[in-house]
Structure 1
Amino acid sequence: MESNRVLRVIRYHWMTVIVLMALGASAALAYAWSVPREYTARADVFVAVTGSSTTGELAQGSNFSQQQARNLSTVATREIVLAPVIDELGLGDSTAELRSRVTTAVPLNTSMISISAVDPSPREAARIANLVAAKLAEVVPTLSPQVDGTSPVRLRVIENAVPPNLPSAPHTPMLVILGALGGLVAAAVVVLMRLMFGTRVRTVEQAQEASGAAIIGTVSSDRTADRAPLALLSAPHSLRSEDYRRLRGNLRFVQASQAHRVFVFTSSVPSEGKSTTAANAAVALAATGASVCLVEADLRRPSLGRILDLPPDLGFTSVLAAEATLDDALVAWGPDRLHVLLAGPIPPNPSELLESDRALEILESLREAHDIVIIDAPPVHPVSDAAVLARVFGGAVLVVGAGRARERDVRRAVARLTSVGATIHGTVLNLARPSRADRRSYTTYSAAPETPRRTRGRGTATPADPGPAPEGDDRPAADALREERSPAGRR
């Protein structure tokens, strides 16, 4: 599983890898273009020993010449050689500065000395290398021992330096390769940090692997969701509306196969869209003719009042505090059989209220009175309310916000739910990025509208006249749904 996580992170961040490698290569290329060009010219000299006639003397002379080549290679960078070069060429360098630009090398088992000079000018580099070779040949007789008044060691220039055509530095191809490798290392660090500190859930595969539960719904991301959270009302033909219809079908399947009538909607952390998902699921289920009750059990951060455009002055806490009856607090919403119980005023002790016998009695009575009850519970972290509700009422629907929840958060939420004996009916991936194929299909084909109108007020709930519906559609026509909302009431 860990290897799958690594591959998934790499697959998701492949663009990051490419961008960082491109940036590294570009930075190296820019550096190569910014630094001055340097050219290297090389002159080769041969060290010869005179006076050898026999085979033995020749062998000894060869060994002697190789030893002298190694010794003279160090002399080539000394002041005795470099000072005349500076004077003759009129260089502005000191001996130490010129020494840093002149190098010598003796190939293994040879009597040759290679003298290399580096300069921004290819012509000047060749002049320096040739003159160093010439001056070294001049000083050799003064340094080697004399035999019959002559030196047995002689230097002969066997190859003069010529101005090079290509610069020796910077080595642009190598720098570009190193820059790309540096970008690859940076990308590896990014992947490692993702693995160490948690990867955000963004795909269906990640959500299913992290939760260990089946994906029963995927809700597409929509920029209009904040100002128009009820997609079935604001955009009945949208891809997001169809996503909620598919979620409805899967919830009905769970209800039929497992005989569950209560679904506790929760999430691992705040701001994953569980309340919006619960509200749209309730609206979609009520559209099929089922009697649905939407209960807001998130007593710390209630939001269903804003989503459904209902006043939050009366609700669950009002009934618990005996300030209102359940019939007074329950709101009939829309033309279908949907009733809403908001959270009400925020209490100082939400956990104690939700775990009280009175709260459980209220929720049990709502289950008996409706076909389906959807409970909008708080996130699993950092409070335990959702786990308690899921345990009492059979199970939870875990909403995972794509790009907002981390895999470790989802795993911790699942562990907390299962530790108290709660069942996870399924996972809903919210705020998912729709594929291009889905977007294209919805430009040419749209689902029939399926949108209720909210009615509220004091008195008996009165559904608005839905008007004629299209053939084969279980909802009123879209024009009728956009009419002026007529008042209904609390039951």
Structure 2
Amino acid sequence: MDLRDYVRILRRNWILVVATMLAGLLVSGLVSILTKPTYTSETQLFVAIQNSGSAQELQQGNTFSQARVQSYVKTVDSPVVLQPAIDTLGLSVTAEELSKQVKASTDLNTVLINISVDDHSPVQAAAIARAVADSLIHAIDSLERPKSGDSSPVRLSVTKPATVPPAPSAPHTTLNLLLGLLAGLALGVIAAVLRTTLDNRVRGEVDLRRITDSPLLGAITFDQDAAKKPLLTQTASQSRRAESFRQLRTNLQFANVSGRAKTVLVTSSLPGEGKSTTATNLAIAIAQAGQSVCLIDADLRRPMVSEYLGLDSNAGLTTALLGAADVNDLLQNWGEDQLFVLTSGQIPPNPSELLGSEEMKDLIARLERAFDTVVIDAPPLLPVTDAAVLSQYVGGVVLVVGTTKVKQHDLQKALNALSMVESNLLGVVLNLLPGKGPDAYTYGYGYYGQDKEPRSTSTSSGQYIETDGSGRSQDRASINDPRPASTYPYAQIDRS
């Protein structure tokens, strides 16, 4: 992964990263609050050699002092020094326990001894530091005194008396909060990378390109109102969703530049990826461009087209395939454009056999001769074989990929299923994309609010007809309207 991949991961999982940072901040704050304050008192001693004061003796004494200071530092935490301090203060601890509170050090090439004492009481810390310093002075005097009884050649003097510390030395609340924040950030980044690595769902074009190099025909942004208003005609004409389907229509024309794919089959890998709404709105968009379109609901297991368009589904595709009625009598005109719909009809017990029959192949051929474009809404590829069987009879296939709905290996299986039957995959449509973020695809330009309702629809005569909530005109002519035969392409369908 390069830097852009990591940036995309952070943008995609920024909520997780922020949550872990806040958690780290909270934990460090609680630790700082619950930790009992510790106070540190310090004192400093100077080591000197008692001599006559000549230059040579001073030099020798200084060298001797520096050599002995390291030994004096090691002596500070010994019972020889600490036990007298305990007895003086009347402490109820042992020398070993007190040694954990006392620290002694010296700087290189100096004769200074630094003693620090930690305690939960500031007054106690200062008292112990003074007692330890006094005890060290007496201990060194005793240890360095000659056996002859003369005075010790070494003298320790306090240069910095121990004082009561005004503020605790621990906990360092500011430092703890900063460390907690950094720890939370590191944990969040690691979790984000692991989550992205383990999550094999298709989330955008980057994930799609890891699986296939098929053309991306369109990208449709997720719209929370689409569940109630799924149709293209139920949104403002300049909305982002409407523009996405117009872009899909245009790209599909370029993908089918040879014009051989008059029939387009729309399918997906799994249910719930939005193939039916994509097929329906694609047919509407093509019809709005002035072409005659036939939309077939070939999902004979969970038909949805009739529900979206508000049409009767009792008689339709299965009726025509079984020979109970001619397709001319089953097509239903929808809207003011030349869009005709062949609903699913009654759900049969053998959908795969019907869709793979010669009757289905002949029906598609008849419709191709009568319409400019035929759009088929087919079942998903993985649960059933209907779409794979039907794809052999059409000019091209459009695969709808519902982002966050399908996993990469499932999409790969769907592509393999189409490849095995040598289907002509025209391209892929990314559906349910986020409107913002690293996986967003569309760019807004002068869009109206998507909440606006289209108030009218223009007809070829220049008149405007009020539309109802389903997107159909309220005074839509019935299929038996005695208009010229050219108005209804299905009237031109031959019966051969």
The answer to whether the superposition gives a TM-score over 0.5 is yes
* Alignment of 1:431 onto 2:432: yes
Going from structure 1 to structure 2, the CA distance change for 1:77 and 1:478 (only over 3 Å counts) comes to same
Give the superposition deviation at 1:117: 0.9
Q: 1:481 to 1:420 in 2, by over 3 A?
A: closer
Residue 483 of structure 1 pairs with residue 474 of structure 2? yes
5+ long unaligned stretches in structure 2:
437-441, 481-489, 492-496
Residue in 1 that maps onto 2:283: 282
Instruction: Report the equivalent of 1:146.
Output: 146
Paired amino acid for 1:266 = T
Instruction: Say if 2:448 is the partner of 1:442.
Output: yes
> Contact 1:217 / 1:250 at 8 angstroms: preserved in 2?
yes
Contact 1:379 1:386 in 2 (8 A): yes
- How far did 1:185 drift? 2.0
- Name the CA distance, whole Å, in 2 between partners of 1:223 and 1:242: 17
Whole-angstrom CA distance in 1 between matches of 2:168 and 2:72: 28
The one-letter code sitting in structure 2 at the alignment partner of 1:38 is T
Distance 2:70 2:250 in 1: 88
Partner of 1:37: 37
Matched residue, 1:249 = 250
Distance, in Å, in 1 between the alignment partners of 2:256 and 2:476 is 32
Counterpart code for 1:395: G
Is 1:359 the counterpart of 2:365? The answer is: no
Task: Specify the alignment match of 1:265 in structure 2.
Answer: 266
| Contact map agreement 1:48 1:155 (CA 8 A) in 2 | yes
Report the secondary structure of 1:46's partner residue: strand
- The one-letter code matched in structure 1 to 2:422 is G
Answer yes or no: is the 8 Å Cα contact 2:255–2:426 preserved in 1. Answer: yes
Question: Separation in 2 of the partners of 1:54 and 1:152?
Answer: 15
Counterpart for residue 310 of structure 1: 311
TM-score normalised by L of structure 2: 0.78
Counterpart residue number, 1:301: 302
Higher mean alpha-carbon deviation, 20-29 vs 392-401, is at 20-29
Q: 1:218 to 1:169 in 2, by over 3 A?
A: same
Quick one: which amino acid aligns to residue 442 of structure 1? Y
User: Residues 483 and 394 from structure 1, CA distance in 2 versus in 1: closer, same or farther, beyond 3 angstroms?
Assistant: closer
CA deviations 1:225-245 (Å, max 9, x no partner) are 112222314655644234333
CA change 1:51–1:487 in 2 (3 A) is same
Q: Which amino acid aligns with 2:125?
A: A
Deviation string 1:76-107 (CA, Å, 9 cap, x unpaired) is 22444334434544556555543332222243
Instruction: Provide the C-alpha distance between the structure 1 equivalents of 2:117 and 2:42, rounded to a whole number of angstroms.
Output: 7
Distance 2:212 2:27 in 1: 42
Counterpart of 1:195 in structure 2 is 196
Change beyond 3 A, Cα 1:102–1:245: same
Question: Which amino acid in structure 1 is aligned with residue 28 of structure 2?
Answer: A
Matches within 5 A, 1:318-467: 318-320=319-321, 325-327=326-328, 329-406=330-407, 409-410=410-411, 413-418=414-419, 420-434=421-435, 438=444, 441-443=447-449
Q: Whole-Å Cα distance in 1 between the matches of residues 427 and 104 of structure 2?
A: 75
Alpha-carbon offset, residue 276 of structure 1: 0.6
What residue is the counterpart of 2:100 in the other structure? 100
- What are the equivalent positions in structure 2 for 1:46-57 lying under 5 Å apart? 46-50=46-50
Letter in 2 for 1:215: L
- Alignment partners' CA distance in 2, 1:228 and 1:444: 11
- Asked if 1:232 is matched to 2:238, the reply is no
SS of the residue aligned with 2:448?
helix
Question: Alpha-carbon deviations, 1:43-80, whole Å to 9, x = none?
Answer: 22234455699999878866765564444434322444
Q: How many Å separate the matches in 2 of 1:134 and 1:339?
A: 105
State whether residues 467 and 474 of structure 2, in contact with CA within 8 Å, keep that contact through their aligned partners in structure 1: no
Distance of aligned partners of 1:79 and 1:38 in 2 relative to their CA distance in 1, 3 Å threshold? same
Residue 295 (structure 1) shift: 1.9
Aligned-pair Cα RMSD in Å:
4.1
| Structure 1 residues 391 and 187: CA distance shift in structure 2, 3 A | farther
Query: Counterpart amino acid of 1:483?
Result: Q
Residues 286 and 336, structure 1, Cα contact 8 Å, conserved in 2: yes
The answer to whether the Cα contact below 8 Å between 2:335 and 2:476 also exists between their aligned partners in 1 is no
Structure 2 CA distance, aligned partners of 1:434 and 1:450? 27
Pair 233,48 (structure 1): closer, same or farther in 2 beyond 3 Å: closer
Contact 2:335 2:472 in 1 (8 A): no
Deviation at 1:300, TM superposition (A): 3.4
Question: Quick check: 2:82–2:98 contact (8 Å CA) kept in 1?
Answer: yes
Please identify, of 36-45 and 480-489, the stretch whose mean Cα deviation from structure 2 is larger.
480-489
Residues matched between the structures, number: 474
TM-score (norm 1): 0.79
Q: Structure 1 CA distance, aligned partners of 2:467 and 2:298?
A: 32
Please give the alpha-carbon distance, in whole angstroms, between the structure 2 residues aligned to 1:90 and 1:45: 24
For residues 55 and 449 of structure 2, what CA distance do their matches in structure 1 show? 96
Matched-pair identity in %: 37
Paired with 1:102 and 1:213, the residues of 2 have a C-alpha distance of: 72
1:174 — aligned with what? 175
Question: 1:364 and 1:56, CA in 2 relative to 1: closer, same or farther beyond 3 A?
Answer: farther
Partner of 2:162: 161
State whether residues 468 and 477 of structure 1, in contact with CA within 8 Å, keep that contact through their aligned partners in structure 2.
no
What secondary structure is seen at the aligned counterpart in 2 of 1:442?
A: coil
Match of 2:73 in 1: 73
**What displacement does 1:283 show?**
1.9
C-alpha distance 258-301 of structure 1, shift in aligned 2 (>3 A): same
Q: Would you say the 8 A contact 1:450–1:476 is kept in 2?
A: yes
Amino acid corresponding to residue 245 of structure 1 in structure 2: R
Contact 1:237 1:448 in 2 (8 A): no
Cα distance in structure 1, aligned partners of 2:24 and 2:324: 67
How far the C-alpha of 1:294 sits from its partner, in A, is 1.5
Against the structure 1 CA distance between its residues 321 and 481, is the aligned structure 2 distance closer, same or farther, given a 3 Å change threshold?
closer
| Contact 1:198–1:407 (8 Å) recurs in 2 | no
Query: Are the aligned partners of 1:236 and 1:447 in contact in 2 as well (CA < 8 Å)?
Result: no
Task: Output one character per residue of 1:113-157: Cα deviation in whole Å (capped at 9) or x when no partner.
Answer: 321111344444333222211112122334456342144444332
- Unaligned stretches of 5+ residues in structure 1: 453-465
* Residues in 1 aligned to 2:398 and 2:455: alpha-carbon distance in whole angstroms: 26
| CA deviation map 1:164-188 (0-9, x unaligned) | 4554222334323322322222222
Q: Deviation of residue 217 (structure 1)?
A: 2.8
